Amino acid sequence: MKKIGVLTSGGDAPGMNAAVRAVVRKAIFHNVEVYGVYNGYQGLMEGNIKQMNLGSVGDIIQRGGTILYSARSEEFKTEEGQQKAIDQLNTIGIEGLIVIGGDGSFRGAEKLTQKGYPCIGVPGTIDNDIPGTDFTIGFDTALNTIIDSIDKIRDTATSHERTYVIEVMGRNAGDLALWAGLADGAESILIPEKPDDFDSVIMKLKRGQERGKKHSIIILAEGVGSGVEFGKRVENETKMDTRVTVLGHTQRGGSPSGFDRVLASRLGARAVDLLLEGKAGRMVGIQKNELVDHDIIEVLKEPHEIDLDMYNLSNELSI
Ligand code: ADP
Give tens-digit pLDDT for 218-260.
Answer: 999 999 999 999 999 999 999 989 999 999 999 999 999 999 9
Is the minimum distance from the CB of 252 to ligand 1 under 6 angstroms? no
**211 assigned binding-site residue:** yes
* pLDDT of the residue at 126: 98
Q: Which residues contact 112 (CB under 8 A, 6 or more apart)?
A: 82, 85, 86, 97, 119
Region of poorest pLDDT, from 111-120, 153-162, 169-178: 153-162
Is the minimum distance from the CB of 66 to ligand 1 under 6 angstroms? no
Catalytic one among 12, 87, 127, 241? Answer: 127
* pLDDT of the residue at 189: 94
Asked if the model's pLDDT at residue 197 lies above 80, the reply is no
Give distance in angstroms: CA of 107 to centre of ligand 1. Answer: 6
Q: Distance (Å, rounded) from C-alpha 270 to C-alpha 130?
A: 17
Residues making up the chain, counted from first to last = 319
Burial class (CB in 10 A: 0-12, 13-18, 19+), 312: exposed
Q: Tell me the average pLDDT across 87-98.
A: 98
- Using only C-alpha atoms, the chain has a radius of gyration, in whole angstroms, of 22
The residues that bridge with 124 in the sheet, in sequence order, are 137
pTM assigned to the model: 0.96
Is the minimum distance from the CB of 170 to ligand 1 under 6 angstroms? no
Asked if the model's pLDDT at residue 217 lies above 80, the reply is yes
Is-catalytic flag, 127? yes
Query: How many helices, marked H, and strands, marked E, lie in the chain?
Result: 11, 11
* pLDDT of the residue at 319: 76
Q: Tell me the average pLDDT across 88-97.
A: 98
Mutate which of 70, 77, 106 to test ligand 1's pocket (most atoms within 8 Å of Cβ)? 77
Q: Distance (Å, rounded) from C-alpha 164 to C-alpha 153?
A: 8
Q: Distance (Å, rounded) from C-alpha 51 to C-alpha 184?
A: 44
* pLDDT of the residue at 200: 85
